[in-house]
Amino acid sequence: MILLTSLVLGCGGGGGGGGGTTADTTPPTVSISAPANNASASGTVAVTASASDNVGVSKVELYVNGSLQTTVTASPYTFSWDTSSLTSGTYSLTAKAYDAANNSTTSSAVSVAVNGAKTGPATATLTLSIPSLPANTLVGGVIFNITLPSGVSPAVLSGTDASGSVTFTGSASGSLSVADYTAPQISFGSVTLSGFGTGNFMTVNCTVGSGTAVSPSGFSLSGIQVFDTNGTQIPTATINMSVLLF
């Protein structure tokens, strides 16, 4: 007798319940790293947000006083904020970050004091500075022109350097009054500095005529030359100008 045994092998696949995909419910983290809280700003300001997520950040939005300004979809999350047409005052910046699952987080607010547009009568204070110099170099003199917006005129010059004095020659007199002004430009034939290093060396106070609308971007420098104490031009040196409107 021959016994035939049939063996059936089954490949099991039923039951057991495999693990499903877990939904991403973790929101991103976000903060504004620049400018600093309570900073002052004028012109175009670089606003930088820091954002991270357990899966990935899909986009970051920048808000000014709660109004959406722009969106960045890839790191670095840097925005250019043009304040030149804004009215002077305090503005609130926030950033909102999203991930692919549309989870979102809004950053804490950063307050920025904007020195923006203003309508006269007003005063504009221009502060001139030399930001950097080659090693072991002192400034002995500068030449430059300041171009003013229409309706703005210079009132008083003042200045100081490391030795406590600034000597004006040529188109600006030693009495610190404007001697050579033809709208819209103030021309300085030369300003002699007594071995000055880096930092502020002059302020120019200007009056903004009644009804005249101006912004800091309307003031500019040209014809800049910086010399050392031997009278040799320093080609890498420049002059910065900040503008405050009151």
pTM of this structure: 0.62
Any idea which fold 29-114 has? Answer: Immunoglobulin-like (2.60.40)
Residues contacting 62, CB < 8 A, separation 6+: 47, 49, 68, 69, 70, 71, 72, 79, 81, 93, 94, 95
Torsion angles phi and psi, residue 218, rounded to 5 = -80, -10
CA 150, CA 209: separation in Å to the nearest integer? 9
The answer to whether 99 touches 25, Cβ cutoff 8 Å, is no
Which helix (H) or strand (E) element contains residue 207? strand 199-208
What local confidence, expressed as pLDDT, does residue 204 receive? 85
Burial class (CB in 10 A: 0-12, 13-18, 19+), 81: buried
Query: Measured between alpha carbons, how far is residue 28 from residues 66, 79, 104, 210 in Å?
Result: 19, 19, 6, 49
29-114 with 118-245: one CATH topology? Answer: yes
Residues contacting 160, CB < 8 A, separation 6+: 166, 200, 201
Q: What is the mean pLDDT of each run of 10 residues along the chain (246 residues)?
A: 43 50 93 93 90 96 95 94 84 96 96 88 89 92 89 77 55 41 74 82 87 89 92 94 86
What local confidence, expressed as pLDDT, does residue 242 receive? 87
What local confidence, expressed as pLDDT, does residue 195 receive? 81
CA 136, CA 190: separation in Å to the nearest integer? 23
Q: How do the domains of the chain map onto residue ranges? A: 29-114, 118-245
Any idea which fold 118-245 has? Answer: Immunoglobulin-like (2.60.40)
Q: What per-residue string of b and e applies to 134-157 under the rule 16 or more CB within 10 Å gives b?
A: eeebbbbbbbbebebbebbebeeb
3-state secondary structure (DSSP) of residue 87: strand
Picking from 143, 168, 139, the residue whose alpha carbon sits closest to that of residue 222 is 143
- Residue 105 DSSP symbol: E
CA 134, CA 76: separation in Å to the nearest integer? 32
